[in-house]
Amino acid sequence: MRRVRIAAYGLLAVVAALWGGYWFTNGGAKRLGLDGDALGVSAGVTVGGPFKLVDSAGKPVSDTDFRGKWMLVYFGYSFCPDVCPTELQVIASALDGLGPDAAKIIPIFITIDPERDTPEIIGGYVKLFDDRLIGLTGSVADIAAVARAYRVYYAKAERKDTTQYLMDHSSFIYLMGPDGKLRGLYRPGSTAQELTATLRTRLAGS
């Protein structure tokens, strides 16, 4: 357990370093946005990548299905008591703020709790927040692979008092460009207004 936590902090440190590096490089001006090209060169770390998952109908879905569209990707789980609902609400509000341009962006929620989040459950869950949200799940191995690609940390947090468990997980929102490359990284607690503003800038520049 301890080793898992150390590894987890390592991953968080990588994400934090990436984010901090961008803050620094961009002088804070684009504080919530990253330039995909610069990311690959200066950080030498790729965030994001191919995935093979299933949607709420159990239909296979891969990253290439979304090429040509922007993806706003968030990882969490439907049993999450606090953070996930907040962040999904932020995503929904941010898209509302964009108006018709929101159609260029596909919001995607990927579970890191595939044992409980079946296609049906994940589908029903995301619809509570926004009809545009696409919920994805997959096998334990496929979820582990996509989480690794996105540098997402997650782990079961067992509780003594009940058979239910919570999941610890990192909570960044990823903006992927029409080419599938990382174009923005939003830290936990970003507001819908901040997302809308940087999304608008990104869409205008594409």
Size of interface with Ni ion, in residues (CB under 5 A) = 4
Long-range contact list for 30-33, CB < 8 A, 24+ apart?
A: 30/198, 30/201, 32/184, 32/185, 32/186, 32/187, 32/190, 32/194, 32/195, 32/197, 32/198, 33/175, 33/183, 33/184, 33/198, 33/201, 33/202
Q: Which is nearer to Ni ion, 22 or 77 (CB)?
A: 77
The reply to whether 110 sits near Ni ion by the rule CB under 5 A is no
Site for Ni ion in 77-106 (CB under 5 A): 80, 83-84
- Residue 42: CB minimum distance to Ni ion, A: 30
Which among 72-80, 90-98, 118-126, 181-189 is the span making contact with Ni ion, rule CB under 5 A? Answer: 72-80
Q: Which is nearer to Ni ion, 89 or 201 (CB)?
A: 89
Q: Which residues pair with residue 111 across a beta bridge?
A: 76
CA atoms of 158 and 17, how far apart (whole Å): 29
Q: Which is nearer to Ni ion, 84 or 133 (CB)?
A: 84
- Residue 77: CB minimum distance to Ni ion, A: 6
H runs (alpha helix) in 56-99: 83-98
Site for Ni ion in 128-157 (CB under 5 A): none
Which of 35, 48, 53, 76 is the binder for Ni ion (CB under 5 A)?
76
Cα 184–69–172 angle (5° rounding)?
30
Q: Which residue is nearest to Ni ion (CB)?
A: 80
Q: Which is nearer to Ni ion, 76 or 123 (CB)?
A: 76
Asked if residues 70 and 105 have their Cβ atoms less than 8 Å apart, the reply is: yes
- List residues near Ni ion by CB under 5 A: 76, 80, 83-84
